[in-house]
A and B are shown apart, each in its own frame.
Chain A
Amino acid sequence: MSYWNQAYECMSREEMRKVQSERLIKTVKLVYENVPTYRKKMQEKGMLPGDIKSVDDLKNLPFTYKQDLRDTYPYGLFAVPMSEIVRVHASSGTTGKKTVVGYTKNDLDVWSEVIARTFTAAGAVKDSFLQISYGYGLFTGGLGAHYGGEKLGATVIPTSSGNTKLQLSIMQDFGTTHLACTPSYALYLAEEMEELGIKRSDLKLQAGIFGAEPWSESMRQEIQDRLKIKAFDIYGLSEVIGPGVACECEYQGGMHIPEDHFIPEIIDPDTGEVLPEGSEGEIVFTTITKEGLPLIRYRTRDLSSLNYDKCECGRTEVRMNKVAGRTDDMLIIRGVNVFPSQVESVLLSIGETAPHYMLVVDRKDNLDTLEIQVEITPSLFSDEVKRLEDVEKKISKEINSTLGIGAKIKLVEPKTIQRSEGKAKRVIDKRVI
């Protein structure tokens, strides 16, 4: 049994409460004094930082929403001067505007710390060879895992995403022992291996740390069987810190949350009330060590539940169960957040009126596919094939630049996309996960 930071990972619940209370008090003071949005939210509730005396008072604090980040785009929720921010990352937003997150030097240390814990929980050590096949760039996956791996002291192989053949040859030649990527990409790698005739004995792979998209227990089995490795689930979102907000240990019975950095709560998404232990609801996070972008009760829109029972691995940290769904219409396609409204704004920018549309998400050969069906309108229609194909190409290009993922555009006849009363149904998700 090995831990990265035994003192915190195996801390008694009582001690952990003390640590959390101290840090929460500090964080609330920090945001109240430095972030106008938080000051206003607290004043509206008639609260002062002094009202927060322990973690028990957390439930009284106002929530933070993704909209708050958009409203203050790009840096409005940062709690330190920009001179203290040493890195930013960004994820896609609903209207093309991104959600920007910022890190101080200390925040990067915290991030690396929590990722080093997750890699350790997944069995990686100083002697491991860690291949990072998450995208490097504005997306938090690549760089987050990268520095966590370096902190651990492992040999980090920064392949980033794409170029599967190269990934596999590096995996063989460099002796990769641990792989970090999306679960669907892991399966794709397994398939390509079989295709290229790469034998399992050619690889030194021991385990994979997979996340950034929802996956099922049966998918885990498939990855484990085909790659003959142990597959660990890792959870994170850029607003909270990136990957490393929670990760499984060798018992694979829920993902441990480093509670000395992030406090989770499960709430009823409709009423906002904290739900009793074990209930399923929206998971909400409060960061208690972050400086750049501290978040108070951040609404993730992810549905999950918490388990406070002590784990067989010896960790006392709470475990969150696999995300069971979303409370909003956000889709995760190939690790990228997609809101149907983004598609709508693209279509609006092309035609005079937004046509009816439907997103059809599927998984073919273990990779997510997105088809966007667009009802033809008289203004888009032409008697010439090339003009209609131009319309498809133009939509596809705009979608790619807005969402950051490719989509197949399919023009369909008017009134063929199902209409529904009330909220329009914009998505057909055929993925079995």
Chain B
Amino acid sequence: MLVKQISVFLENKSGRLADVTRTLADNNINICAMSIADTTDFGILRLIVNKPEDAERFLSEQQFTVSCTSVIAIGVEDKPGGLAKALDILQDNGISIEYMYAFVGKTGNEAFVILRVENPETAIETLLKYGIEILPSDKIYCA
């Protein structure tokens, strides 16, 4: 039920993001979703790609510092209150979110949200109990 996310350390200097996307392109890896957390000096690029193992390997070969983390992907209705419902559940159950980002799937009536929490197993259990859709990786990777 968990989705693999690739994180890459990037110094804040021009061209580094393009270096990552070029490496992925050269190796025929598709980016499904991404987000960047930035500070004054560095950024952390988080990627959901269709071939996470390959991405990790190719980026490492290019001297990037890469890590692979398990995150949760949920599907919410693409309408007002869709995300609020899921987050209320997490809040009510005392599960805090380290970070999250969202993207819209190709079908158009569903939005996908990537969640990073301390303890993903508990979070999944809780979300399922309240009827939130947890997306398996294959659905995300082809989204």
Contacts and interface: CB of A to CB of B under 8 A. Distances in A.
B41 interface: yes
B103 interface: no
A413 B46 CA distance: 16
A100 interface: no
A388 interface: yes
Interface string B80-117: 00000000000000000011000000000000000010
Interface residues of A, number: 17
A383 B11 contact: no
B67 interface: yes
A383 B41 contact: no
A376 B9 contact: yes
A2 B11 CA distance: 60
B44 interface: yes
Interface residues of B, number: 21
Given A410-B41, A411-B42, A413-B10, 12 more contacts: A377-B65, A378-B66, A381-B65, A382-B7, A383-B7, A383-B44, A383-B69, A384-B44, A413-B9, A414-B64, A415-B63, A416-B11
A41 to B, nearest CB: 49
Given A413-B9, A413-B10, A413-B11, A385 B37 contact: yes
A324 interface: no
A389 interface: yes
A377 B9 CA distance: 10
Given A413-B11, A416-B11, A384 B99 contact: yes
A412 B43 CA distance: 10
A148 B5 CA distance: 66
B14 interface: no
Interface string B40-62: 01101010000000000000000
A383 B67 contact: yes
- Residues of A contacting B: mostly: loop
A217 to B, nearest CB: 36
A376 B41 contact: no
B116 A376 contact: no
Given A411-B42, A413-B63, A415-B63, A381 B37 contact: no
Nearest to A381: B65
B48 to A, nearest CB: 12
Given A376-B9, A388-B44, A412-B11, A382 B116 contact: no
6 contacts: A376-B9, A383-B46, A384-B116, A389-B39, A411-B9, A412-B11
Interface string A397-430: 0000000000000111111100000000000000
Contacts of A411: 9, 41-42
B19 to A, nearest CB: 10
Counting chain B CB atoms within 10 Å of each CB, the highest count among A377, A381, A383, A410 belongs to: A383
